[in-house]
Structure 1
């Protein structure tokens, strides 16, 4: 009886085994096909060049909560076009040149390591910058390096006013600006607040003269140096407006600028000097520590 059962079971297994295997293979193909479809639905291809594909997930970072739908669409379109052009250039380069894969990989590694070192140094500088640059440091650097800050443009301290030509306040404003009287400042400011289309009153601030006269008839004047030398009050008109430039002080090209004008530039210079000094010290410390611990060898 046992022998018969074994024979029947054996025959049954032999009969059904191919069918079971076939079903398993089919089901594997089915599930694989389904998975690919799901992947395409969730992460569709946005563009392709040859075998390279740009998927929706690759451009997800372009869309932010602050972006409007139109901005996001325009940004995405620009990115896709840029990606396509880059991939086409890569294909064209591959067709027209023979590249040394080993050399390319070496350059990629060099770039990767350079990025790693850069990020490490940046983090170290951020963590170890003890103090801000002081005004005293800035002033000292300025005194020792004045000649290196020779001006390449005209700068001024000025008050500027723009009034409609028809305004009855033009005459009193002109009179007040021509008067050397500190008490007139409040009256001038009141006229500016109440009647000026535009004005600028920053007595102690140095600015580029070109920035002040832009969009005024004075911007077309070809003899600005003589104009500044001979006038404390410059007035010009166009068809609609009158413009007033009260020149408090000025510096011409090739002259040494005042400290206030180059303060920000000096701050950046000194900040960079401190950064470089910190990195150089870091490199020296790491080298000396490795030397003491026999962490490297130099072979003849």
Structure 2
């Protein structure tokens, strides 16, 4: 080991005292590794060492090949998918997308106990038509906390995290569609409306499964392009006499 090797390993913002400790530990670890390696080469059977050398060679070749293919294919692969393509795959494979957690669509408002026009806000919150939504949006700065976007699926874990007044162990009674809750603590009042619920092991909704579907289809494209590229490079080598099969 040389001084230049150690310099390249040192963090840029390390102090003089810490650098001395770092260098000592690094040297000891390196020396221990080298000693163990020497002993392994002396004591392991030759056949076992040949197996390891073959594995290392195969792994090295694989790293080079995959890095090269990624470099070539990254500029060719189309990562854009039409909504119809994603929807079609989902419909054909719906049963493969099972939820591993509960999902909800909900909204809530957290108000001071003495909030002015509480009954009016509560009525707008429960009815929640377009005009109500507009009016509530104008009042959000007066709320202690809120989430009025009930069109997005949220995990049960995030639901209880946002609403600490509710307890996870009560979830069986709480997680029901079209359920309204009014809960008070020492600081204020929660108004909660659960619109939709999907429980663990039910089929995941399309919106929730969409990122996974995109990744599946993207992987399919990569595999096909990779195989096509392998065929192309072999065909080109045969054409240019860089590769020949003897019978």
TM range (shorter): 0.7 to 0.9
Q: What does the per-residue CA deviation read over 1:206-230, in whole Å, with 9 as the maximum and x for residues that have no partner?
A: 2213212215335523232432326
Residue 33 (structure 1) aligns with: none
The answer to whether the Cα contact below 8 Å between 1:177 and 1:233 also exists between their aligned partners in 2 is: no
* Aligned-residue offset at 1:138: 0.8
The structure-2 alpha-carbon separation of the partners of 1:212 and 1:107, relative to structure 1 and needing over 3 Å to count, comes to: same
Unaligned runs of 5+ residues in structure 2 are: none
Instruction: Report the secondary structure of 1:59's partner residue.
Output: coil
Q: What does the per-residue CA deviation read over 1:32-78, in whole Å, with 9 as the maximum and x for residues that have no partner?
A: xxxxxxxxxxxx94xxxxxxx8421x126x54xxxxx479x999988
Deviates more, 1:136-145 or 1:210-219: 210-219
The structure-2 alpha-carbon separation of the partners of 1:258 and 1:104, relative to structure 1 and needing over 3 Å to count, comes to: closer
Deviates more, 1:114-123 or 1:95-104: 95-104
The structure-2 alpha-carbon separation of the partners of 1:79 and 1:281, relative to structure 1 and needing over 3 Å to count, comes to: farther
Unaligned runs of 5+ residues in structure 1 are: 1-43, 46-52, 64-68
Q: Distance in 2 between matches of 1:266 and 1:237?
A: 41
The answer to whether the Cα contact below 8 Å between 2:104 and 2:153 also exists between their aligned partners in 1 is: yes
TM-score, structure 2 normalization: 0.78
Residue 255 (structure 1) aligns with: 202
Report how many residues are paired.
Answer: 240
Q: What does the per-residue CA deviation read over 1:147-171, in whole Å, with 9 as the maximum and x for residues that have no partner?
A: 1112121112221222344544644
Residue 285 (structure 1) aligns with: 232
TM-score, structure 1 normalization: 0.66
Deviates more, 1:272-281 or 1:99-108: 99-108
**RMSD, aligned CA:** 3.5
Matching residue within 114, 119, 124 for 2:67: 119
Residue 6 (structure 2) aligns with: 55
Q: Distance in 1 between matches of 2:75 and 2:177?
A: 54
Q: Distance in 1 between matches of 2:149 and 2:79?
A: 30
